[in-house]
Amino acid sequence: MSQSQNLSQTFLAITRNNTDFEWLQGALAPLGQVVSAGGGSLDELLALVDVTFASLVFIGLDREHVVAQSALIESALEAKPMLAIVVLGDGMDNQLVLNAMRAGARDFVAYGSRSSEVAGLVRRLSKRLPPVAPNTQLGGLTVLYGVQSNADGALLASHLAQVVQKSGQQTLLLDLGLPSGDSLALLGLESSFHFGDALRHLRRLDATLIDSAFTRCDAGLRILAYASHDEPLEHTSAAELYMLLSALRQHFQHIVVNLTGQPDSEALRTFVSHCDKLLWYTDQNVLDCRRNLAVLNLWREKGIKLDHAKLLVDRYLRNVSPDSETLGKSFGMEVIATLVYSPEVRLNAKNQGVTLFELAPREGLTQSLRALGERLAKRSESLAKPKSGWLNRLRGAQ
């Protein structure tokens, strides 16, 4: 199985508890990402199958809920006959195994099985399943992430998103960085509709709601930001995020997500695993670099794929070490750009609520941001236009 296939493989799981879920995640890390399908609602499971193109679902069985769990398996297969369902349970309980197979499960995995056994089973099943539709038909998704929280994350993300918007692509800035809402403040905008509202209105997220509720800046860029009263990102389930991103990617050709300052969480990893380009944001401050490397090394140990990550070095001073080459080696990433410090220009842009394009169009910082934004825009201009239905998208991907 090629690496690009690995990246696109998503498995859904309904497990008894978080420990089972993490065990499954660890076992399947080399093959793709496992997404929790919540507490076992059929509607949520089927909606997730639609948006993730998952063809393999794991369902945990236990004695107390076996009737409801068997009914869920039967209903899911009735709605999606091509789905393969693998049941997790106590290997010594023959009754559970029988119930699962009667309901239509393709296979059974005992809790605590060796990772190699689980991965081997999935590889064998995957060969017999229809090909997974790749995500290339969706709008572009760029993530800016670094451990340190400051207003510069929002400053850079908003400028990059404006450049992509000016290239002629409908663009959304999803600002989930901390401190929250800085992108709105930097552009002198207010919003009455935030990230938490979008999650609550997932079923209603259509063109009409986006046009009426999403804030828009002069360049035409739409902004959906995190409000200070929104639930912390780590409380958002991977399932909700999938639904949200899938809805948004039908309406926007490119989404730039600012996640600077966010603590490590399942939600953060969902963004990182599913973006086209991850810009890992750091500067030359060794203390911040260490904090970034701690998260990066943890993710690599967990098997999270980071082939699409590039290093973005901000506030760069040429005569200070570590230099960009050393940083690139430490992070094990190609340096996509170094952005000059320019403290006065940054401060004026933040304090006056004016973009760098208006304030200092010839400055090195402004020109570097424009060049980087144009590079991001090129990646997604060949992608399918939004609003193509799921059916067309599936046909196009066959």
Three-state secondary structure along 305-327? CCCCEEEEEEEECCCCCCCHHHH
What whole-number distance in Å separates Cα of residue 249 and Cα of residue 137? 10
397 within domain boundaries:
no
What whole-number distance in Å separates Cα of residue 13 and Cα of residue 86? 9
pLDDT higher than threshold 80 for residue 277? yes
398 within domain boundaries:
no
What whole-number distance in Å separates Cα of residue 143 and Cα of residue 141? 7
Please compute the mean of the pLDDT values over residues 230-255 and round it to a whole number. Answer: 92
What whole-number distance in Å separates Cα of residue 396 and Cα of residue 250? 15
Same domain for 103 and 194, yes or no, is: no
CA distances from 6 to 100, 109, 126, 127, 132 (A): 28, 21, 11, 13, 10
* Residue 54, token pair as written in the block: 């998952």
Q: Which class for 35: exposed (0-12), middle (13-18), buried (19 or more C-beta within 10 A)? A: buried
What whole-number distance in Å separates Cα of residue 160 and Cα of residue 219? 12
* pLDDT of the residue at 50: 85
Number of domains in the chain: 2
Q: What is the CATH number of the domain that holds 10?
A: 3.40.50.2300
Same domain for 246 and 378, yes or no, is: yes
250 within domain boundaries:
yes
Same domain for 229 and 101, yes or no, is: no
Same domain for 330 and 193, yes or no, is: yes
Domain of residue 385: give its range. Answer: 135-390
Same domain for 61 and 186, yes or no, is: no
Q: Which of 128, 159, 175 is the last residue of a domain?
A: 128
What whole-number distance in Å separates Cα of residue 123 and Cα of residue 371? 42
Q: Which is more confidently placed, 304 or 385? A: 304
Angle between helices 18-28 and 115-128 (to 10 degrees): 70
What whole-number distance in Å separates Cα of residue 302 and Cα of residue 300? 5
Q: Which class for 367: exposed (0-12), middle (13-18), buried (19 or more C-beta within 10 A)? A: middle
Task: For residue 353, report the phi and psi dihedrals to the nearest 5 degrees.
Answer: 65, 35
Q: Which is more confidently placed, 262 or 304? A: 262
Same domain for 158 and 80, yes or no, is: no
pLDDT higher than threshold 50 for residue 1? no
Same domain for 223 and 298, yes or no, is: yes
Q: What is the CATH number of the domain that holds 161?
A: 3.40.50.300
Same domain for 244 and 139, yes or no, is: yes
Q: Cis link prior to 179 (omega < 30° from 0)?
A: yes
Give the pLDDT band of residue 90 (cuts 50, 70, 90).
confident
395 within domain boundaries:
no
Q: Which of 128, 155, 184 is the last residue of a domain?
A: 128
217 within domain boundaries:
yes
pTM of the model: 0.85
* Sheet architecture: strand order including 254-258: 215-216, 222-225, 171-175, 254-258, 140-145, 277-282, 309-316, 335-340
Same domain for 173 and 66, yes or no, is: no
Same domain for 225 and 262, yes or no, is: yes
Task: For residue 121, report the phi and psi dihedrals to the nearest 5 degrees.
Answer: -60, -45
* pLDDT of the residue at 396: 41
Same domain for 90 and 147, yes or no, is: no
Q: Which of 128, 160, 185 is the last residue of a domain?
A: 128
The overall average pLDDT reported for the chain is 90
Same domain for 174 and 217, yes or no, is: yes
Q: What percent of the chain has pLDDT over 90?
A: 70
Per residue in 199-208, pLDDT (tens digit) is 999 889 999 9
pLDDT higher than threshold 50 for residue 391? no
396 within domain boundaries:
no
Distance between start and end Cα atoms, the chain: 18
194 within domain boundaries:
yes
97 within domain boundaries:
yes
